[in-house]
Every structure is written in C-alpha cells, then in structure tokens.
Amino acid sequence: MRLTAERLLRFLELLPPASHYRVAYSGGRDSHVLLHLLVSAHTAGDLRSRVSAIHVNHGLQAGADSWQRHCRRVCEQLGVECALVNLALRPKPGESLEAEARTARYRALLPLIEAGETLLTAHHQDDQAETVLLQLLRGAGPAGLAAMPASTSFGKGMLARPLLDVDADALTDYALRHGLAWVEDPSNGSPRFARNYLRQQVMPLLRARWPAMTRTLSRSARHCADSQQLIDSIAEQDLSRLVAKESGALDLPGVLLLAPPRARSVVRSWVKGAGFPTPASAHLERLLHEMESAASDRNPVVHWPGVEVRRYRRQLHIMAPLHPIAVGTRIGWEGRVALPLPVGELVAIAGVGGISRERWLRGGFEVRFDSGVDRIRIAGRGHSTELKKLYQQHAIPPWLRPRVPLIFQQDELLAVADLCVCEPFAAAQDAPGFRLKWRRQALEER
C-alpha cells in the first residue's frame, strides 16, 4: 500500500483534535517524509491545523550544524516554521549514548508542547519491530514488549507516531516519488550501537526467512499493549485501596496479601505513578522480600539509580536519594520570607497563637538540624519531653528526623518545625503571634 496524505489524515482523525502539529524533524528520510505529508495535506486544505517543525541538534556529530542548516532550508522551502533546540550532551563513562540522547531529546521537547498541540515523530514499522526485539533481548515484560504506543499524553499536549504501521520501503518509495532530499547520520552505520547491529546484521536474516516479520512483530507489540493495559487497570484498582492519599505511602500488609505477580504489578505502578524509574526485576524482588522480612524495629531501604524506598510503620515511602546534612549546619533567617531547607521550606504566618509576637519581632533566627537536643519543654505541658517522643507522636519517620528544622534565637530553642512551640515563647491562645509552617514537599522532589 502506497503512503499518502489521506492515510496520514485517517490516523489523525482517531486522535483528539489538535490546533498545532509539531514534527520532530531530524533532517533524515523518515521525518522529512512525515513533514512533507503534513504540509501536503495542509496545502490541499484537508488539514486546517497549524504545522511546524522542531529540530534538535544533539551536537554529537561533526556535521550537526550543517544538518541544522539543511533542516532550516527544507522548512523554508515547505513554508513552515522550524524551531531549533541545541543540546550539549556529555554522557558519563559506561552510559548508553543512544539512551542519553533519547532522554535528553524528549526532555527538551516536553516544555515546547502546549495544550492542544501534538508532537509527531516518524517512528515506523521497522523501528517498532527492532524495539520489540531489543526489549525481548533485555528480558522485558509486557510493558517493554508493547514497545512504542501510537499515541500518548506528552506534557500539556500529546505525542503521536502516525507511521507505526508503515514499513521502511514505503517511506523510501514516497521520498523518491516526491524528490525529497535528506541527510544520513553516519552513526547509523556503526554496529557498536545495539539497534544498528540488530538492523544491519540480524533483521536481514530474519526477514529472509520470515518476510512479514516487521508486521507480525508490530502486531505482537499491540497484543502486549492490550495485556499491559489490563494489568495497569487492575493495578490502579489495587492502588486506590493501598496508597495513602496525603503521603502517597504504600500499605505493605495490603500488598503482601496479593498474589506475587499482582503485588509486583502494584509496586511497579506505584513507582511509575510517583514519577520514578521503575525497578528491574531483581530490585523488585529484593524490595518485596526485605520489606517483609526485616524486623519491626528496623528501617530497611532498597535503592536503585535515582530512587530509594523505605519502610516506616508498615508503609513504603518512595523518594529521591537523601543526601546527608553537614554536621553543624546552621541557616540564618529573619522570618520575613520563606526559607528553603534541605527538605521543603519554612514560612511564618502572622495570626493568633504560635510564637509570641513580641518574641518573633526580635528576629535573628537560626535554623539547626539534629543539634544534639534530646529533651524539649513544649509550651503548656509543664514538663520536659523527649524529642524522639515528639517525632513519634507526629509520625516523623527516622530518615526525616535529622532534617527537621529546629528554630533557635540567641541559642534558645523557640520551636521544632511546626510540630510545637517551646516554653516560654508561646503566645496566649487568643494573642497575636506567628505560626510556623514547614511545607514538606514530597521527598522525591528534593
């Protein structure tokens, strides 16, 4: 079947209407074909939405700047705007250059897509088949084998891949029929990249034996996507029962009551919903085992790159890795504006109660952490209390306690975050004062 603008329009009709289609245009054959199809449909009056291009210059090749000029020239010929995004990639030793470039590219594109806009990429059927095989070789489950979805939400708008059912030969045929000129990335010929090796060495052998392999592998990806959608639906139902609405913590006993495959699915969905990288199978198995088997007086932690999961009071908490606070850290504060802290921020709100107005207006505050204070005198109690008991009463988990802000004034402890005011600094119940608020952003944001 020949590739035509009508075929593209039939795909777009299945998506929510977009006021603006933005093509991720690399200058290569595939994205040039996609851009040309859209412009043709727009010129013919069959597509009323605005069409433009975005070119991401990764800066990894000697010819990157000339490719950028080529993209600008082609867009001028087609009469469309071309936004240019320049990256400065410096992958660390051992990191995948492909993965780093892909991640950086999508990160750069994300804020450019506004509500009502759709980003279009030119991934095609052969790309999809390669992705399925790569995921299979990595031991992926249904989510990985589902490969690339035809459409998904993306920032404020959407991301769509309208050519996933089009093979590479059809794209070449279209490009030649319309006299399109494109650039070739020399890195596409290097077999040191896994996808290139698969494309050049493995796929031709498989295609010689199974000519329809790209189509059938793409069909398998759709089946896996359907299966994953069902798995996600069940996981969402479980999460609605097992996740605390305010803290986002996951109920461990509830998870352990589930059958193991369902428990693993719930944890994966919980991690993904919190915006973190999903764990590998080994990390997932270790998490479920250690969180269940650790003694009740222990505070186990399981981590993988960029993530820490901790247990407290039979709940699982997820966060970015916590960095220690230097011993003796002190932060000066006048109390007039919000004070950024290692976790969240501290603000003072004028009103009734809290720290007495007379004491507060003296200023000169200092915030300390884990400063050797063992006992405190909470206003109105008439006796001292262990600081540890205060933390337990307010369900402050052990890993957060060294990060609780202690507010001093001239070496006198006025308050412990917004947990309590100390004697003798509290305002009378109906007297003017200043109340502290420790705005604890979710730990994963820190």
User: Are 170 and 1 spatial neighbours (Cβ–Cβ below 8 Å)?
Assistant: yes
Residue 90 pLDDT more than 60? yes
User: Are 198 and 130 spatial neighbours (Cβ–Cβ below 8 Å)?
Assistant: yes
pLDDT in the model for residue 58: 79
pLDDT in the model for residue 51: 97
Residue 382 pLDDT more than 90? no
Q: Note the Cα 165 to chain centre separation in Å.
A: 28
pLDDT in the model for residue 347: 95
Token representation of residue 94? 């051992």
pLDDT in the model for residue 442: 39
Task: Give CATH for domain 243-319.
Answer: 1.20.59.20
Smallest Cα–Cα separation from 23: which of 103, 78, 98?
78
Residue 240 pLDDT more than 70? yes
pLDDT in the model for residue 94: 56
**pLDDT mean over 120-144:** 94
Residue 167 pLDDT more than 90? yes
pLDDT in the model for residue 134: 94
| 246 to 367, 438, 440, 442, 444: CA distances (angstroms) | 26, 15, 12, 10, 14
Token representation of residue 294? 């650790």
Strands 345-352, 432-439: pairing is: antiparallel
pLDDT in the model for residue 445: 38
Q: How confident is residue 443, by pLDDT bands cut at 50, 70 and 90?
A: very low
Integer Cα distance of 396 and 378 in angstroms: 17
pLDDT higher for 267 or 188? 267
156 contact partners, CB below 8 Å, separation of at least 6: 113, 114, 115, 117
pLDDT in the model for residue 117: 97
pLDDT in the model for residue 101: 78
Residue 329 pLDDT more than 80? yes
**pLDDT mean over 303-326:** 92
Residue 189 pLDDT more than 80? no
Residue 57 pLDDT more than 60? yes
**pLDDT mean over 376-395:** 92
15-29, 82-96, 107-121, 350-364: the lowest-pLDDT one: 82-96
Token representation of residue 371? 């400063």
420 contact partners, CB below 8 Å, separation of at least 6: 376, 378, 379, 390
- Alpha helices by DSSP H, 114-191: 125-137, 142-145, 168-177
pLDDT in the model for residue 63: 77
SS3 44: coil
pLDDT in the model for residue 299: 87
Residue 287 pLDDT more than 80? yes
pLDDT in the model for residue 446: 36
22-26, 128-132, 372-376, 423-427: the lowest-pLDDT one: 372-376
Top CATH class of 5-221 equals: alpha beta
Q: Is 385 exposed, middle or buried (0-12, 13-18, 19+ CB in 10 A)?
A: middle
Q: How confident is residue 93, by pLDDT bands cut at 50, 70 and 90?
A: low
DSSP class of residue 429 equals T
Beta-sheet strand order (sheet of 301-304): 250-251, 315-319, 307-312, 301-304
Q: Is 305 exposed, middle or buried (0-12, 13-18, 19+ CB in 10 A)?
A: exposed
pLDDT in the model for residue 242: 97
**pLDDT mean over 260-275:** 95
**pLDDT mean over 321-326:** 87
* Positive or negative: CA dihedral 96, 98, 99, 103: positive
* Tens digit of each residue's pLDDT (9 = 90 or more) over 34-56: 999 999 999 999 999 999 999 99
SS3 313: coil
Peptide bond connecting 424 to the previous residue in cis, omega within 30 degrees of 0: yes
Strands 339-340, 345-352: pairing is: antiparallel
pLDDT in the model for residue 137: 93
* Positive or negative: CA dihedral 320, 146, 14, 165: positive
Q: Cα angle vertex 261, ends 259, 266, to 5°?
A: 90
If residue 33 lies in a helix (H) or strand (E), which one and from where to where?
helix 29-43
Q: Would you list the domain boundaries of the chain?
A: 5-221, 243-319, 330-445
Strand partners, 333: 365
Q: How confident is residue 28, by pLDDT bands cut at 50, 70 and 90?
A: very high
Residue 444 pLDDT more than 70? no
* Tens digit of each residue's pLDDT (9 = 90 or more) over 333-347: 999 899 999 989 999
* Tens digit of each residue's pLDDT (9 = 90 or more) over 97-130: 677 778 888 989 999 999 999 999 999 999 999 9
341 contact partners, CB below 8 Å, separation of at least 6: 331, 367, 403, 405, 438
pLDDT in the model for residue 95: 58
Give percent of the chain with pLDDT exceeding 90: 78
